[in-house]
Amino acid sequence: MAVMEDRPDGLEELMEIAARLQGANKSIDQREIFSEFAGSTEIQPEALDQYAGRWMRHSQVRSESAMSAMEFMAWTIKWVACRGAMLSFLEKYDVMICPVDPYPAMPHGFTCQDDFDARGLTSYTKPYSMTGWPSVTVRGGTSSEGLPIGVQVVARPWREDVALAVAQHIETALGGWQRPPL
């Protein structure tokens, strides 16, 4: 195996595209969607995790990032072009290994979305999620505060087997899952 440090172009662009498309999605009143497809505007909190529930409860107010259909199409075309450029990069490699986040995992019960944005979390996972490539994360270590530090394995399209095999190898080499001290 050959290991080299490299970085695909377009990661920042995919983050911007994700933010724009996510903003467009937030401009849709989720209660209208529930009413149309589920026949109810009630959101059952136990059916949603804390973030999704909070996002949907606040989505009654339309986002300032609402965009026209033409703007949405333009951002979608940028997304497709960027995915193509990223795929060209991946032709040279079977797998990429990178961090999950620039920081250890958040403490249990952490709910402040503003701090997520301030810390830049998802900056390593979101671009690869936007490509649609298979990826898997495993615990690669522990911070001095006892919080998990993740390793992300990203493979070519339709190669989940490769991503899972490499992740298993990393997890095994690093001692596998260990019960945290409680």
Q: What is the pLDDT of residues 23-37, one digit of tens each?
A: 665 545 555 555 665
Q: Over pLDDT 70: what percentage of the chain?
A: 66
The pLDDT-based confidence of 10 (bands split at 50, 70, 90) is confident
Q: Which helix (H) or strand (E) holds 67?
A: none
What token pair was written down for 149? 């530090």
Domain limits, the chain: 93-182
- Which pLDDT value is given to residue 34? 55
pLDDT at 61: 38
Distance CA 166, CA 36 (A): 44
Which positions ≥6 away from 5 have C-beta within 8 Å? none
Contact in structure between 149 and 180 (CB atoms under 8 Å): no
Q: What is the pLDDT of residues 106-132, one digit of tens each?
A: 776 665 544 555 445 567 888 888 888
Instruction: For tokens 């596998």, name the residue.
Output: 176
Confidence at 48, pLDDT banded by 50, 70, 90: very low
- Taking only the tens place, the pLDDT of each residue in 60-96 is 334 455 677 788 888 889 999 988 888 888 888 999 9
C-alpha neighbours within 13 Å on the C-beta side of residue 55: 15
Lowest-confidence range among 16-20, 39-43, 111-115, 172-176? 111-115
